[in-house]
Amino acid sequence: MTVGQRGGPVANTAGAGGGPGHEVVSGFRHEAFFYDSADAFLATTTAFVEAGLDAGEPVMVALPPEKLEVLRHRLGCGASQVRMVDMARLGRNPARIIPAWRLFVDDHRDSVALRGIGEPIWTARTPDELAECHRHEALLTTAFSAGRPWWLLCPYDTGVLSRDVLAQARRSHRFVDEGGHSSLSPTFDPSPSVFEGTLPDPGPLVGEQSFDEGSLRGLRAVVSAWAAEVLPPDRAADLVLVTHEVACNSIRHGGGGGTVRYWVDGEVAVVEVRDEGRLQEPLAGREFPPGYAEAGRGLWLANQLCDLVQLRSSPDGTCVRLRLSV
């Protein structure tokens, strides 16, 4: 192994050349790319994708739609060989992004190496969304470090993002490319405590109710009546379903019951489920539940149906906050 021009471990290959992304990675390489202009963004992402295509590597790109279209145009005919994904849609709930990367990796089991570009953070993100984006980025190494070689480049716009966001990127990425030079991040945290922290206090509560197995049906009726008042019918049904599934998790794994609170936060309906259990699996809700297994289904379903799921867990208990736009 050697250290390549972009600062990370690469395999010795006769075909490795200069320019962005020409090295061959030996494991999962999670790299933040700091750019300060549209030209810098397009030059590096184009070179990165083209290097992968030249090497015969499958490539997936997940970007906000306007950047996706610009890159698609620049790649020309090569764009047809790339899996292009609208990150604004995929990443509305950041917890859906890792499963999409997992599917991409699994779809190419026979490939020696893969690469991707993913930009989940932009200025329109709300503070709640931004916090979950940071947790998503911190979990990528956990999700893929034991798997096959692939390289994920995550663009960050230094012209509009705050210093705190960039500092968080340095903690969640082993490598940072800045000013055309890639190096190991001195503040990278390989074992983040993704469930730590507290959630903001809720607005005025509409309701609060304790539950156990015997009162689960009554809880569902109460949440259903409230959701029907604040959400369209299909969204109300989704919220009732995921509340039920998460409450069932509390009964099975959180001490036999818990407490549900619900309120409206601006244009978002929020349901919070608390119990006395503690989550130990960092990728809970981000991995496909195997077969017909009950374990893991509730949080997985919540992430698929909700616009945002906020999950915190400590020795004092677990809090799952479900958010759907009204």
pLDDT (tens digit per residue) in 196-213:
989 999 989 999 999 999
If you count DSSP H runs as helices and E runs as strands, how many of each does the chain have, helices first? 9, 14
Indicate the class that CATH gives domain 207-325.
Answer: alpha beta
Mean pLDDT for 284-307 is 84
Q: What is the pLDDT of residues 125-174, one digit of tens each?
A: 999 999 999 999 999 999 999 888 999 999 999 999 999 999 999 999 99
Rounded Cα gap, residues 219 and 210, in angstroms: 8
pLDDT of residue 6: 36
Assess whether pLDDT exceeds 90 at residue 268.
yes
Q: What would the two tokens of residue 5 be? A: 């021009």
DSSP state of 102: H
Rounded Cα gap, residues 192 and 291, in angstroms: 29
Mean pLDDT for 38-43 is 97
Q: What is the mean pLDDT of the chain?
A: 91
Q: What would the two tokens of residue 103 be? A: 């599917």
Contact between residue 133 and residue 166 where contact means Cβ atoms under 8 Å apart: no
Q: Which fold has domain 2-184?
A: Rossmann fold (3.40.50)
Domains of the chain, by residue range, sit at: 2-184, 207-325
Q: What is the pLDDT of residues 68-100, one digit of tens each?
A: 999 999 999 999 999 999 999 999 999 999 999
Contact between residue 299 and residue 311 where contact means Cβ atoms under 8 Å apart: yes
DSSP string across 161-186:
S-HHHHHHHHHH-SEEEETTEEEE-T
Q: What is the pLDDT of residues 297-307, one digit of tens each?
A: 899 999 999 99
Residue percentage of the chain with pLDDT more than 70: 91
Contact between residue 51 and residue 4 where contact means Cβ atoms under 8 Å apart: no
Contact between residue 128 and residue 268 where contact means Cβ atoms under 8 Å apart: no
Assess whether pLDDT exceeds 60 at residue 190.
yes
Confidence grade of residue 113 (pLDDT, cut at 50, 70, 90): very high
Confidence grade of residue 20 (pLDDT, cut at 50, 70, 90): low
Q: What would the two tokens of residue 133 be? A: 């984006």
Mean pLDDT for 107-115 is 95
Assess whether pLDDT exceeds 80 at residue 324.
yes
Assess whether pLDDT exceeds 90 at residue 121.
yes
Contact between residue 27 and residue 190 where contact means Cβ atoms under 8 Å apart: no
**Residues pairing with 71 in the sheet:** none
Query: What is the C-alpha end-to-end distance of the chain, expressed in Å?
Result: 53
Confidence grade of residue 289 (pLDDT, cut at 50, 70, 90): confident
Confidence grade of residue 19 (pLDDT, cut at 50, 70, 90): very low
Residue percentage of the chain with pLDDT more than 90: 83
